[in-house]
A and B are shown apart, each in its own frame.
Chain A
């Protein structure tokens, strides 16, 4: 606070007695007509716009999306959503001013945006949102589970209401698995550029979103909001496209590998199928993908190793020892991988009853510098194997 201002406030305080309780609030420029194409008023300070587009393919995807989320959610119960807020740090003072929700209506996608044009209208705004955000729907967002959904809940609490979105499918998680290791970053805009291969004409930096809203509140000129509304609209459309891409990759990753359309982390895709897939078919698909990678000599050794370890663990889990031995042997012999070697030694010792070969593998593993715990484990293993061999010699 600078000195002048301080002085002025002090003087104001002294003159307090003569100040009326509140000067009538200065007339503000009317916010109507809003001038944003397509928006209609729902209540004082609450505006809405619905845009519809064909969504045949999306409906197909949502009808059979069990690889992504539980089947209990019919396509009609799925919502794509995104919010724009007055700040990024959260907290009680951060308000939601633009909420978007997209859902299927027959074979079309109805994307509705709801705009709050005055803070005082928040109760009416939340009433409109409550109608459009049923609590039992499944909400698909990008990084919305942690932030947006929480912010929405906060607004309801502050208005003395309870409204909690219970079910989420946050695309951030599968997207990170598929692309974190192959893309420079995993923000929605990076995914748009590299995965969806769509480029926006001009996009807003995120700090500009609240600034434009404040400017609109001050001056009442809806034109400054236009880019925010467009940005928000595109974010939701990208959500639907991203969902379809993720679904396609997980449904038939082989197809994507062959097309080499967009690079993605095959091993992570297989891991997703193994962990989240509910059917035998998905497991088979994952195994096949991993086998292709492991035995494909042209591929990066690091990726082949990761794939081999995952595949070996999968075989081990189902007691397919011969398959497991093949994979571990390959990864150990070609890349000297510690974990594969240890697994192989264990298998030889306990399953194949071949302590001699097991010892050879342990000795080979010990030729390299290993982390202390691993080194101790190897030494221990060596000792035991030697004791076993001695015992059988003397017998």
Chain B
């Protein structure tokens, strides 16, 4: 009996533990599906594969190879440890061996990952003496290496930021590389969604435009984690039709998935035992039994905390092999430190690791036996990536999700079917976001004069004419030319929607460390003076918001409350794009102008969520144009009737709480965070003249959220209903519609009102 069998047996006999288990699912082992090495495979490549023990391919690797060889763009859906890299390395190396002048660009979302990738590729390339030259080109590449990378690198490993600001604006230096560009590999394509994805589509447009200028038309090979719409997302990013390779042929051992909901400490307030403590005790149980374990925490701070707790508890514990070694792993560690931990995990000298999602992506750490998620990682696809860190081909493994009290976590542990079916989350982008589009249009004109007939974007000429009026471009001899001193890529960060950002600076103890960035409208709502700002699990208090200089100074703090702005929002509908009757209401998607005024904030105690005080805020009013979905409750539609069915005094609180609910639930269906969405209720909306609920994009110009939300609205509403109905509380709690708020001064029970309204609206089926 293996250690893991033994410990699972013990756990099953532990009734206190089992009371918290909302689902224990055994996922049977799956045999591999294989294909022979392709007949046309270059002999050298065949030798390299054989030397590393690869005698045959997984079916998905062979399928990807076939599509790419026939010149098609492809997206390969690859769970953890499914031999992803071979899906693209094989067709790329095959081409490079027969046509050494061909070039490939590998794009990874983060720098750390691209370095790992190069290490892996170099290894195989050297071992087989393939003679293929691989070079990393990113912000850390020394000048002395850059020239040779450009001139001789057959595979360049980089990231979108470098492509955007370093390579494309200087493309004449890359003529040899770009002129022979045959493949573009986009790994982890599911990370390109929302703002980052909308930028990415534009960067790829620019890349294709420049490649075309040099006579190249590369094939795109994308890899995605398991998400709801991998093909659609890939097609939105590369803007061509893409073949989907979704049938994973790699084998996997049996896996136990345990959804664990910590016991109540205070049922009325909806408070459960903390994730940190629970994750620690489960991890200890596994580690002491000799099970190699990884714990995923949601912040850097929690990572360190859990690791320290575990180490403390293991201080006097010895096994036959001596002490159990447990390491913390997160961004911010030196590369050498991270490499050492990874190596320790591979060779077995490290038995346990506590990590942020840094270890979720494709870094090789060998197989572990148990994965514990301390809190829902934010999306089901992430959960599976993390769960996939446990499990080797032939062995039994276990994954435990420890839920927090947040609505999303609670929803997940109570609705395990989402875990077991196809992950529902959709990635979405909006490359036509005006801010993002204009930024990249400027870059594109800088890179190459743009002719009016070029179709960079559906309406790019209007924008070019606008830029011409402003004097940054100039029309001459049939094309728009860049006519400005600036280097436009410098002003555009792919990680934010506008360049109008406020930088958050940690000034604790006279330090000066930039810890984040946020757009100006959000800054006014979350970074006002004396606000509590939580960043990666650490608490800061805002000492000064300096909007003029786009800077917010914060200091570390340790108070027992958080802050919430009391926001007065005025919404004006600018344009209705689409209207349809669906899901029992009139749905309108369009442009809105949101005027926001923050005058006060609440201090709310952690855990109990009591209101413990108010503060004044003085920031100027903010205006934002964005995209919205308005749900209009016309008198005769089911939603309108349902609303009239509840106590008039409860109507506003009920609609407002549905706004909160859908915000909290939407990350189940859309690859976003609930803070990416805003909701606002109107009992009598001035534009529609009816009660209505707005759900809108928190980013200026919108990033496709409102549209994606509209497509999924039925599912989201039904999920909201089940979340609130299945909650153990009686009058609403932070895990569902939020606690009762004495400020509202209502007599009714908000939970009952919400359930009544929603079930009458979307039906009880």
Please report the C-alpha to C-alpha distance between residue A12 and residue B175 in the assembled complex, in whole angstroms: 37
Tell me what chain A mostly uses at the interface: helix, strand, loop, or mixed.
helix
Asked if B267 is at the interface (CB within 8 A of a chain A CB), the reply is no
Please report the C-alpha to C-alpha distance between residue A6 and residue B623 in the assembled complex, in whole angstroms: 11
* Cβ-defined contact, A157 with B175, below 8 A: yes
Asked if B756 is at the interface (CB within 8 A of a chain A CB), the reply is no
User: Chain B residues with Cβ under 8 A from A60's Cβ?
Assistant: none
Asked if B575 is at the interface (CB within 8 A of a chain A CB), the reply is yes
User: Chain B residues with Cβ under 8 A from A214's Cβ?
Assistant: 471, 483-485
Contact A121-B477, Cβ < 8 Å, known A10-B591, A22-B452: yes
* Cβ-defined contact, A119 with B485, below 8 A: no
Contact partner of A87 among B435, B448, B452, B487, CB < 8 A?
B487
Asked if A173 is at the interface (CB within 8 A of a chain B CB), the reply is no
Q: Name the distance in Å between B656's Cβ and chain A's nearest Cβ.
A: 27
User: Chain B residues with Cβ under 8 A from A1's Cβ?
Assistant: 434-435, 438, 498
Contact partner of B434 among A10, A119, A157, CB < 8 A?
A10
* Cβ-defined contact, B172 with A158, below 8 A: yes
Asked if B474 is at the interface (CB within 8 A of a chain A CB), the reply is yes
In the complex, which residue of chain B has the Cβ closest to the Cβ of A158? B172
Contact partner of A7 among B169, B466, B625, CB < 8 A?
B625
In the complex, which residue of chain A has the Cβ closest to the Cβ of B480? A119
Please report the C-alpha to C-alpha distance between residue A153 and residue B175 in the assembled complex, in whole angstroms: 12
Asked if A25 is at the interface (CB within 8 A of a chain B CB), the reply is yes
* Cβ-defined contact, A12 with B462, below 8 A: yes
Contact partner of A119 among B453, B483, B484, B486, CB < 8 A?
B483
Asked if A92 is at the interface (CB within 8 A of a chain B CB), the reply is yes
Convert A13-48 into 0s and 1s, putting 1 for each residue whose CB lies closer than 8 angstroms to a CB of B. 110100101110100000000000000000000000
User: Chain A residues with Cβ under 8 A from B434's Cβ?
Assistant: 1, 6, 9-10
Q: Name the distance in Å between B488's Cβ and chain A's nearest Cβ.
A: 8
* Cβ-defined contact, A3 with B481, below 8 A: no
* Cβ-defined contact, A7 with B574, below 8 A: yes
Please report the C-alpha to C-alpha distance between residue A10 and residue B484 in the assembled complex, in whole angstroms: 25
User: Chain B residues with Cβ under 8 A from A22's Cβ?
Assistant: 452, 461
Size of the A side of the interface (Cβ < 8 Å), in residues, is: 38
In the complex, which residue of chain A has the Cβ closest to the Cβ of B439? A1
* Cβ-defined contact, B625 with A3, below 8 A: yes
In the complex, which residue of chain A has the Cβ closest to the Cβ of B442? A93
* Cβ-defined contact, B701 with A6, below 8 A: yes
Convert A84-119 into 0s and 1s, putting 1 for each residue whose CB lies closer than 8 angstroms to a CB of B. 001111111101000000000000000000000011
Most A CB within 10 A of own CB, among B171, B453, B461, B483 = B483
In the complex, which residue of chain A has the Cβ closest to the Cβ of B435? A1
User: Chain A residues with Cβ under 8 A from B418's Cβ?
Assistant: none
User: Chain B residues with Cβ under 8 A from A380's Cβ?
Assistant: none
Most A CB within 10 A of own CB, among B466, B477, B486, B488 = B477
Asked if A75 is at the interface (CB within 8 A of a chain B CB), the reply is no
Convert B465-500 into 0s and 1s, putting 1 for each residue whose CB lies closer than 8 angstroms to a CB of A. 110000100111111011111111010000000100
User: Chain B residues with Cβ under 8 A from A211's Cβ?
Assistant: 485
* Cβ-defined contact, A120 with B625, below 8 A: no
Contact A93-B487, Cβ < 8 Å, known A1-B498, A120-B476: yes
Please report the C-alpha to C-alpha distance between residue A237 and residue B385 in the assembled complex, in whole angstroms: 66
Q: Name the distance in Å between A346's Cβ and chain B's nearest Cβ.
A: 34
* Cβ-defined contact, A91 with B462, below 8 A: no
* Cβ-defined contact, B485 with A210, below 8 A: yes
* Cβ-defined contact, B448 with A207, below 8 A: no
User: Chain B residues with Cβ under 8 A from A141's Cβ?
Assistant: none
Contact partner of A218 among B170, B471, B482, B623, CB < 8 A?
B471
Asked if A238 is at the interface (CB within 8 A of a chain B CB), the reply is no
* Cβ-defined contact, A93 with B452, below 8 A: no
User: Chain B residues with Cβ under 8 A from A14's Cβ?
Assistant: 575
User: Chain B residues with Cβ under 8 A from A92's Cβ?
Assistant: 169-172, 446-448
User: Chain B residues with Cβ under 8 A from A86's Cβ?
Assistant: 482-485
Asked if B463 is at the interface (CB within 8 A of a chain A CB), the reply is yes
Please report the C-alpha to C-alpha distance between residue A120 and residue B476 in the assembled complex, in whole angstroms: 5
* Cβ-defined contact, A217 with B487, below 8 A: no
In the complex, which residue of chain A has the Cβ closest to the Cβ of B462? A12
Convert B435-454 into 0s and 1s, putting 1 for each residue whose CB lies closer than 8 angstroms to a CB of A. 10010000001111100110
Asked if A154 is at the interface (CB within 8 A of a chain B CB), the reply is yes
Please report the C-alpha to C-alpha distance between residue A211 and residue B472 in the assembled complex, in whole angstroms: 11
Asked if B319 is at the interface (CB within 8 A of a chain A CB), the reply is no
User: Chain A residues with Cβ under 8 A from B575's Cβ?
Assistant: 10, 14
Q: Name the distance in Å between B566's Cβ and chain A's nearest Cβ.
A: 23
In the complex, which residue of chain B has the Cβ closest to the Cβ of A88? B485
Please report the C-alpha to C-alpha distance between residue A95 and residue B481 in the assembled complex, in whole angstroms: 10
Asked if B459 is at the interface (CB within 8 A of a chain A CB), the reply is yes
In the complex, which residue of chain B has the Cβ closest to the Cβ of A153? B172
* Cβ-defined contact, B487 with A21, below 8 A: no
* Cβ-defined contact, A13 with B459, below 8 A: yes
Q: Name the distance in Å between B288's Cβ and chain A's nearest Cβ.
A: 48
User: Chain B residues with Cβ under 8 A from A118's Cβ?
Assistant: 476-477
Please report the C-alpha to C-alpha distance between residue A13 and residue B701 in the assembled complex, in whole angstroms: 13
Most B CB within 10 A of own CB, among A13, A86, A91 = A91
Most A CB within 10 A of own CB, among B172, B447, B624 = B172
* Cβ-defined contact, A91 with B446, below 8 A: yes
Convert A153-186 into 0s and 1s, putting 1 for each residue whose CB lies closer than 8 angstroms to a CB of B. 1100110000000000000000000000000000
In the complex, which residue of chain B has the Cβ closest to the Cβ of A215? B471
Asked if B308 is at the interface (CB within 8 A of a chain A CB), the reply is no
Please report the C-alpha to C-alpha distance between residue A119 and residue B465 in the assembled complex, in whole angstroms: 17
* Cβ-defined contact, A207 with B485, below 8 A: yes
Asked if B593 is at the interface (CB within 8 A of a chain A CB), the reply is yes
Please report the C-alpha to C-alpha distance between residue A297 and residue B643 in the assembled complex, in whole angstroms: 102
Please report the C-alpha to C-alpha distance between residue A93 and residue B479 in the assembled complex, in whole angstroms: 13
Please report the C-alpha to C-alpha distance between residue A32 and residue B482 in the assembled complex, in whole angstroms: 23
In the complex, which residue of chain B has the Cβ closest to the Cβ of A87? B485
In the complex, which residue of chain B has the Cβ closest to the Cβ of A15? B462
* Cβ-defined contact, B447 with A9, below 8 A: no
* Cβ-defined contact, A90 with B474, below 8 A: no
User: Chain A residues with Cβ under 8 A from B459's Cβ?
Assistant: 12-13, 16
Please report the C-alpha to C-alpha distance between residue A217 and residue B471 in the assembled complex, in whole angstroms: 10
* Cβ-defined contact, B461 with A21, below 8 A: yes
* Cβ-defined contact, A3 with B593, below 8 A: yes
Interface residues of B in 226-270 (CB under 8 A from A): none
User: Chain B residues with Cβ under 8 A from A25's Cβ?
Assistant: 475
Contact partner of A93 among B169, B435, B458, CB < 8 A?
B169
* Cβ-defined contact, A91 with B487, below 8 A: yes
Interface residues of A in 366-380 (CB under 8 A from B): none
* Cβ-defined contact, B462 with A13, below 8 A: yes
* Cβ-defined contact, B466 with A93, below 8 A: no
Please report the C-alpha to C-alpha distance between residue A154 and residue B483 in the assembled complex, in whole angstroms: 16
User: Chain B residues with Cβ under 8 A from A210's Cβ?
Assistant: 485
Contact partner of A120 among B175, B447, B478, B484, CB < 8 A?
B478
Most B CB within 10 A of own CB, among A88, A120, A153 = A120
User: Chain B residues with Cβ under 8 A from A154's Cβ?
Assistant: 172-173
In the complex, which residue of chain A has the Cβ closest to the Cβ of B623? A3
* Cβ-defined contact, B435 with A89, below 8 A: no
Q: Name the distance in Å between A140's Cβ and chain B's nearest Cβ.
A: 24
User: Chain A residues with Cβ under 8 A from B452's Cβ?
Assistant: 21-22
Please report the C-alpha to C-alpha distance between residue A22 and residue B450 in the assembled complex, in whole angstroms: 13
In the complex, which residue of chain B has the Cβ closest to the Cβ of A211? B485
Convert A199-230 into 0s and 1s, putting 1 for each residue whose CB lies closer than 8 angstroms to a CB of B. 00000000100110010011000000000000
Give 18 pairs: A residue, B residue, CB < 8 Å, sorted on A: A10-B574, A10-B591, A12-B459, A16-B459, A19-B462, A86-B482, A87-B485, A89-B490, A92-B170, A92-B447, A93-B447, A119-B449, A119-B477, A120-B477, A120-B479, A211-B485, A214-B471, A214-B483
**Chain B residues in the interface with A (C-beta under 8 A):** 169-173, 175, 434-435, 438, 445-449, 452-453, 458-459, 461-463, 465-466, 471, 474-479, 481-488, 490, 498, 574-575, 591, 593, 623-625, 700-701
Further 17 A-B residue pairs, CB within 8 A, beyond A1-B438, A158-B448, A214-B485 = A6-B700, A9-B462, A10-B591, A12-B462, A12-B466, A13-B459, A21-B453, A25-B475, A87-B484, A87-B487, A89-B487, A91-B170, A93-B488, A119-B474, A120-B477, A120-B478, A218-B471
Closest 7 CB pairs of A and B: A120-B477, A93-B446, A120-B476, A93-B482, A119-B481, A157-B172, A89-B487
